[in-house]
């Protein structure tokens, strides 16, 4: 499976079902590592190891979240980053949406047991068709979740709809590296996409789709040197785990603004 804005509806529906099944099967395994479900996390100056807590701390300032904002976390997993953000930023209201009913149930339990339950909300749904009014959000976050989309044109016009004028989108994700892939790289990439049921576009594909949807002030940075991946031993037990020797992926960060109409 590869990313393509012109995918046939049948491919899109099949992939949606695959994503729901994937998270039903694997969410409990990821929860052994914590409630933030990301393959690569930020290193910080104070801590050079793999720490979801330190990474969430770094992400808050990189995404520039501010007190008083209303934020959408698109593809929110079990709500770890939502809860971290609401706990550390006063008056932040955050809505997470996941396509996985299984994850949403766990997220709701975590929210109910947190002291910020009045400011964190979880929804079940597809981020291509959001159950929110126009201009509701100051920011939209995609934390290792945008790459699942096979329909960027639809996705970013929907995100532009729910963002207020001047609001911004923050994407942090795994991307396929730019340029020609060797035969081994192409084989591993295809297998990685199949296992993870994720389209894994290049950064250029995402930036072009954002521009085509009218986003401006684009910032796109290869953040691979700032990221540390899960230690290998932490992957044991994951049913779909396999090792890759030449996987052509990079981590990237993209920020863009919804300009005035």
Q: Count the neighbouring beta carbons within 10 Å of the beta carbon of residue 119.
A: 21
Instruction: Report CA-CA distances (Å) from 201 to 10, 144, 218, 220, 225.
Output: 20, 12, 17, 14, 19
Which of 51, 55, 103, 108 is the binder for ligand SAM (CB under 6 A)? 103
Residues 152-211 that bind ligand SAM (CB under 6 A): none
Min dist CB 106 to ligand SAM, Å, is 10
Among the listed ranges 5-13, 144-152, 207-215, 227-235, the one in contact with ligand SAM (CB under 6 A) is 144-152
CA angle 7, 12, 15 (to 5 degrees): 130
Residues 109-128 that bind ligand SAM (CB under 6 A): 126-128
Min dist CB 17 to ligand SAM, Å, is 11
77 near ligand SAM, rule: CB under 6 A: yes
Residue whose C-alpha is closest to residue 257's, from 147, 140, 130: 140
Instruction: Report CA-CA distances (Å) from 62 to 55, 84, 225, 253.
Output: 10, 14, 15, 9
100 near ligand SAM, rule: CB under 6 A: yes
19 near ligand SAM, rule: CB under 6 A: yes
* Count of residues engaged in binding ligand SAM, rule: CB under 6 A: 22
Residue whose C-alpha is closest to residue 154's, from 191, 177, 176, 129: 129
Nearer to ligand SAM, 145 or 213 (CB): 145
- The binding site for ligand SAM (CB under 6 A) comprises 19, 23, 36-38, 75-77, 80-81, 97-100, 103, 126-128, 143-145, 148
């Amino acid at each position: 499976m590869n990313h393509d804005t012109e995918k046939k509806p049948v491919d899109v529906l099949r992939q949606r079902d695959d994503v729901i099944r994937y998270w039903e099967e694997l969410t409990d395994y990821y929860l052994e590592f914590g409630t933030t479900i990301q393959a690569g996390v930020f290193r910080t100056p104070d801590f050079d190891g793999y720490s979801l807590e330190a990474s969430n701390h770094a992400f808050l300032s990189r995404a520039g979240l501010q007190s008083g904002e209303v934020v959408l976390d698109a593809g929110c997993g079990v709500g770890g980053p939502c809860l971290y953000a609401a706990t550390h930023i006063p008056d932040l209201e955050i809505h997470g949406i996941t396509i996985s009913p299984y994850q949403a149930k766990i997220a709701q339990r975590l929210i109910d047991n947190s002291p910020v339950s009045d400011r964190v909300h979880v929804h079940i749904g597809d981020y291509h068709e959001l159950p929110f009014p126009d201009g509701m959000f100051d920011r939209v976050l995609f934390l290792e979740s945008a790459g699942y989309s096979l329909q960027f044109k639809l996705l970013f016009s929907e995100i532009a709809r729910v963002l207020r004028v001047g609001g911004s989108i923050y994407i942090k994700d795994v991307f396929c590296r730019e340029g020609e892939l060797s035969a081994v790289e192409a084989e591993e990439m295809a297998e990685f996409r199949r296992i993870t049921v994720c389209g894994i576009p290049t950064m250029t594909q995402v930036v072009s789709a954002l521009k085509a949807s009218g986003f401006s002030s684009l910032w796109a940075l290869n953040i691979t040197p700032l990221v540390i991946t899960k230690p290998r031993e932490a992957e044991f037990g994951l049913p779909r785990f396999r090792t890759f020797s030449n996987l052509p992926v990079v981590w990237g960060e993209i920020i863009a603004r919804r300009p005035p109409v």
